[in-house]
Structure formats: C-alpha cells, structure tokens
Amino acid sequence: MIAAGRALSANSTSAVIDEQPKEESRTLKFGALQVEITPVKANIGAAIALVFGILTWEIAQGVQSTPENSLQYANDNALMLAKSLRGTLLALFYSSTFLSALTSAGLVLLGIQLKSEKN
C-alpha cells in the first residue's frame, strides 16, 4: 500500500489553480431597497451622521438654554406639561446626538475596513 501510494504521488501531475480574488461587495437590504456599500459611500454617510449630530446638539442646547421662569401658561397643568415635554425633547435630542456620533464612528471604521479589503 505504501509503495502504491508513493508511485501514484510520484506520477501525479500538480494542477495549477489560477485563483483570482472575487470582488465581493457588501450590500445592505431594506425590503426591496438594496444599497451597495463602498468606502466612499461609508465616508459620505459618516459625514451626514456627523452633521445631523451637530444639528441635534445645537437644538438641544437651544432648548436647554430657555429659562424655565420665562414659560408663561394659562394654568399650572399646562406649565407642568410644558416642563415634561421640555425634558422629553432634551432626552430625545441628546440621545440622537449620541447615536449620530456612534453611527459616524461606525461608518468611518467600516470605510477603513472596506478600503483595506479592496487593496
């Protein structure tokens, strides 16, 4: 058996396999919508997320800078409702700012990863 294996391995021809790397694209699917992700698109998305984060931060700062004693309403119930809505808006805008920052950082890292895979 060993002799037969050596004889076969000595006579076998080595097949040269020409493997070219396949360019696989990453695609995000949202129902019927499909978007191919490239490093350029990832960087553009990061810039958009950064601008959105800056806008939501500025709006939150504007809402927060409004003094509570300047709020004048017809009765105490309306004043309590306004203060509650103000707190909700602040939470919403600050969380949007935080999520925009995370999205921007993630898209920059994705763009770097896609760029290194391409090279």
Which range marks the domain in which residue 75 is found? 25-118
Q: Report whether 42 contacts 108 (CB < 8 A).
A: yes
Asked if residue 6 belongs to a domain, the reply is no
Asked if residue 63 belongs to a domain, the reply is yes
CA–CA dist 103, 18 (Å, integer): 40
Task: Check residue 8 and give its pLDDT.
Answer: 63
Stated pTM of the model: 0.69
CA dihedral 108, 113, 114, 119 (to 10 degrees): 130
User: Is it the case that residue 69 has pLDDT exceeding 60?
Assistant: yes
Per-residue pLDDT band at 58 (split at 50, 70, 90): very high
Number of domains in the chain: 1
Residue-wise pLDDT for 5-14, tens only, equals: 676 666 655 5
Asked if residue 2 belongs to a domain, the reply is no
Asked if residue 76 belongs to a domain, the reply is yes
Residue-wise pLDDT for 78-102, tens only, equals: 888 888 898 999 999 999 999 999 9
